[in-house]
Structure formats: C-alpha cells, structure tokens
Structure 1
Amino acid sequence: MATLLADKYEARKAEVNERFEQLRANEEKLNRIFAEIYNMVGEVPIEVEDKYVSVARIFDTADEIPESYKGNKYVRTKRDEITSLMSYAVGCMFGRYSLDVDGLVLADQGDTLANYVAKMPDANNITFMPDEDNVLPICDDEYFEDDIVGRFVEFVRVVYGAETLEENLRFIADALGGKGTPRQVIRVYFLKDFFSDHCQTYKKRPIYWLFDSGKKNGFKALVYMHRYQPDLLARVRTDYVFAQQERYRTQIGYIDDALASAEKGERVKLEKQRKKFVDQLEETAKFEEKLHHLADQMIAIDLDDGVKVNYAKFQDVLAKIK
C-alpha cells in the first residue's frame, strides 16, 4: 500500500517530541521529590532547561530551533531524519540491514550475498536485494545499472509504494535543500555530503568506504568494508573505472562532431561540456594508475585491526576522512 513519507515523518516527529516532553516532566517530578525530601523547595531549580533534556527533539528546520535548545546535542531537524533514512537505505543496498529481518545481517568479515540470502526467512521472496558486487557507483549522471541514486529511488519505491514515489522523492529533496529535480538534488547529496555525514555518524571510522578520483567527480563509488574481498579493487578498476573512461571518450567524440557545425552560442556550451569530460577523463586516468598498483597487490584486511588501520592501506584511492 502506497505511503506518504511526509505522513511518516510527522508521526515520528510527534512521537519523538512527546517522548522529549515526557522525559522533561519525569525529571522535573524527580527534582521536586528530592527537593521535598531534603527540605530544599525554593532553593534548588525544579524546571529542566530545554538544552539539558537528553533525548531527541525534532524541528523542521534549523531556523526553528529556539535559543533555549542551543547546546542540546540531541536536537534534530527534518534533514537529519531524511539523511538517516538515506543512510539506512545504503545499509540495505549493501546487506548490512534488511527490510525482511531485524538487526544487522551482513556484519562479519568477508560476508557475501550468499550469506545474506541464507539469513532470509524466505530466500525466494526477498523484499529488497542488496547490491551483488558490493560496489555502488556515485557519478554525476546515471551511467551504471547499480548507480546509487537509481538504487535509492528503487528503495523508496519498494518501501513506500510506486503511487507516491515522485511525491516522496520531492519531500526528500525539499528536506535536503538544493536546486534541480528531486533526483538531481539527491544525486548532489550522495556526491558531496553523504560520506562526510557518514564519517561524522561513525566518529571518523567509516564502514562504507568511498573510492574517490578527485574534485572533478570523475569517479566515485561506495563499498562496504565487511564485504571486502582482496579482488575488490581489481573489479572496481575493470568493471567501473574502465567503463567510465570509455563513456568520457565517447562523449568527447560526440561533442567534437557537434562542434564541427555548431553555431557560436551552442559552441560555447559544447566547449564547456567538452572541458568537463576531458578533465574527468584525465582525473580518472591518474586514479586508475593508483588503483592498478593497489589492485595487483590483492591486499587483505583484518577487521580486528580496526577501520583506521585498514582504511590507511587504501588511502591513495579513498576519500580523505575529515
């Protein structure tokens, strides 16, 4: 049955904010009890300030947060709720979570899709299947079948229904902020902000790793460290980077053909597009060399060593943790 994400958000906000007020009331009741026990009524504060209530409180926007809540680390906004949903969706894409069972699913070193299927109550009727090869490309357009934006849109369709898909995507995009169509806004978030938000959530110890060619966004892709296999880098290189480079060459070729007969106004636009593709191609060429060097080593990791140690092994091709 189709569901509006806006309705789900409002229901969650009401539940969370009611819990906030209930905790405040409980704490004030305890303060009053202890003040009476120790004969300190009127000498100690009974009321609990907003910033000291230690459970979540949701506001639609940051501008709506009163000054009295400043300093409360549990305060959240609609954007925070939506980015948490997007993080959960990525977890489902990798098989860390599932729509069919509670809790963690794939969380052991070297887990595969076969391990995921084996943990399902009905292997023939899985609601949302994780990515097969543990690589979710993030490009500035939908070049790959398992493009992260395409997979996220499918996740929203599966969870909330096809009938409300476009309205739900608009709600998500409005919460994120930005210009363009809902899919464009969502793509920009995955390109620019998802990894930094993920690093913040996991205290600079990300479990989803971002392959990143550089500032030109020539190539980016997320992988899940628990599903890492020594041949992963080789697969990223051959199945994704090479394919992306070929697309850039093709686009440059199309533009060169168009420039031969383009008028002045159109020529400016085409030359700008050409420069973008040339820059991305050059960036991915340098990235591919680094990736090739590491891929040939078939590097193994040990989750017991921790994220920091393992991430450093691939620092030449992974995004910097800030």
Structure 2
Amino acid sequence: MNTNKLKAYAPKARLAFMDAVRKRAAVLGIYEDHISEASTQGTDTLIEGRIFTRRQGQQRQQLVKRIEALGGGKEGYNQFINEMAFTWFNRFTAIRYMEINEYLDHGFRVLSKGENAQFGEGFEILAHAADVAEDLDLNKSEIVQMVLAGDKEEELFRALLLGQCHQLSRIMPFMFEKLDDATELLLPDNLIKTDSILKDLINDLPEDNWKDFDEDKGQIEVIGWLYQFYISEHKDAVIGKVVKKEDIPAATQLFTPNWIVKYLVQNSLGRQWLATYPNSELKDKMEYYITPAEQSSDVIEQLKAITPNSINPEKNQSVRPSLRQWSHLS
C-alpha cells in the first residue's frame, strides 16, 4: 500500500477534528477556561440562551463529568477534546471503510454519493432517507417530513448519521459505544457544507486505499496506518520529554503491518504446531516461516522432551489468543 496520501491526510485531520469538536463543545457552553451553567425547566435545558432538550442536558452533564474525571481545568478539557475528536475520526473512517466495501446492511453510502464521487456531489443516503429510516430505527414519518421540507438537509443527514452509528453500536460497541452515548452531542456541525471535515476524508484518500487487499496486505491495514499517522505529530511533540499519562498512547503505540504479525505468529505458534505435527499441510501456507537449522542429536532429544504430543487450540489458553491470526492461514 502506498501510504503517502494517508500520511498527508491524517495529521491535518486530527487538528480539523479537534477544532470541530471544540466548536461543538462551545455550543454546549463547555470551554477551556470555564463551563457555563445549565438550567433545566420542564422538558428544556437552557445553556447561554440556547434551548436544548432535557435529555441533551443530561448528556451534556455526562460530558462535564468526563472532563472532571480527567482532572478538570485546561488539562482535563484538552485531553477531553483530543479523545472526543479521535472518537469521531475513528467512527467516520470505519463508516467510510464499510460503505466502500459494501458492508452496510441497507446498501447505501453514508458519506459519499457513489464510487469515486467527490465530496460536494451529494450523499447517497439522503436520496434514500425514507428507505433506510426503519432499518436505522428512526421515526419514518419524521424523516419524511424533513425530506419534504426541502431545507433541512443538514438536520436530516445528522439524524441519518447518528442512526447509522446507533445501529453499528449493537455490533461494534467498542467503537460506537452505547445507543444513548453523550458523545453524539459532539458530532461536528456543517457536515454537508463545503467546509465539512468530511471533505478531505472523501477527496484526499482514493477509494483503492479502502478496498480489500490480498492476504499479505490484509483488509484493515488502512485503519491502522491512519491511526499511526493521526497521532504522529502528537508523538513527535512528546518524545524526549517526561511523558504524561494522557500522552502514553501517542508516545508508545505503533501500527504493526500484517506481514510482521504473520512473521511473528508463524515463527512462534506456527513453530510449536509444526514441532507437534511435522507433516502438517499448514507449513506450505506459512510464507514467512523460517525452517529451524539442523540440531545435534542431544538438542533434538531435549526438544522432543518439551514438545507436547497434541495441541488443542480451543482449550489451550496460551494458544487461544492467536486463533484469529491462524484463521487467515486456513
């Protein structure tokens, strides 16, 4: 994979997403130097003269508690913004990957109009909003009303996007969290406008970068590379300094390409398997396996003594964590 475009896009995307989340937080009265008071009256919550629903007020309070849990003040706020920006970056890249590879159940693209379409040419899901409403557990009559209004595309797209995230939360809770998660309040604004944070995601990264590759490259390498490049500038900023707790991921995490993972698995677990089953056909499928050098008779006897007569991957706890890697070989 040519990672040059990923490397150029991801660092600037990090800044753009942080800025977009910071603006959304400000709409909620959440700033670096203070957090505005919120008052609830009946079914409404009032923040700086803006009216929100009572539920949104409760979700907003969850966000405030997150900042406090991170230590509060400017440091807690900045860490919070960083985490929320990556949350939405991660969700958008996941949806982009799934729509290009046709993994979304309803079959329509969410972030673009069609194959190799540029941002600004429209959104396929908007043209099929009524068709996907029930599939995304949205109120179909409300969706139809927004469609007929003719001037609520931004509101409509936001509803459809959140509906998509909610649906995916059932099968990918580690990425999209629970259905009523407060992070939806920080979904950036102006998503279908010309200055949308989606513009560069769609236009700067060719669709070939998102499509399935052969086994050597793996299907999700693009996500791993995007993460590594996303944190690259943050990593450069903290390396060589006393690393704070919140900076540990940026300073220590690296994306491991699929071929390196295979090399490690095939020459550890794979070697153990072949020691027990030397005639296994699996050896022919392990392209990174290195055949051990010839050993003396004494060493051979010692190896036999510590080699199990059988291996059951489903029951052996030390083997089970690598089953996913083995599945790519079979």
Query: What TM-score results when the alignment is normalised by the length of structure 1?
Result: 0.33
Higher relative contact order (CA 8 A, sep 6+): 2
Query: What TM-score results when the alignment is normalised by the length of structure 2?
Result: 0.32
